[in-house]
Amino acid sequence: MRLTQFAIVLAVVFTICFIQGCAATSSGVFPIGKNSYTVVVSGSNNNGILIKQAYKEANSFCEEKGKVLQPVATTFQPFVPYGPPASFELRFQVLNPDDPQYRPPIFESVPDTKIEVKN
């Protein structure tokens, strides 16, 4: 009987730890300058969850003001086993839909390593 109880407790602890590892926490939207804001989401080992939650919060923030989201920059730190949790930062502006600065985002991969060949 005691072995069964121990197995149940162990299963519950493992499940809680697993769920905690998948959870994402957010800093919330906060200002970083004139009409510029940021949101940082961290804690999940699922990169898609981090990105989705950051954009969802930023879009909701803009929609509450009757405005649109203009992404400015992103920073991503991937999940590393036994290291810090993954995190995603979205920096953005809140613009009027007819603002000339409002444009569709250009998605471009920026290399994290640059190799220079010297002759």
The one-digit pLDDT tens for each residue of the chain (119 residues) are: 576 765 555 555 455 544 445 567 888 899 998 889 999 999 877 788 899 999 999 999 999 999 999 999 999 888 888 888 889 999 999 999 998 888 876 767 777 777 888 87
The Cα–Cα gap between 73 and 118 comes to 31
- At 21 the three-state DSSP class reads helix
Residue type (1 letter), 59: N
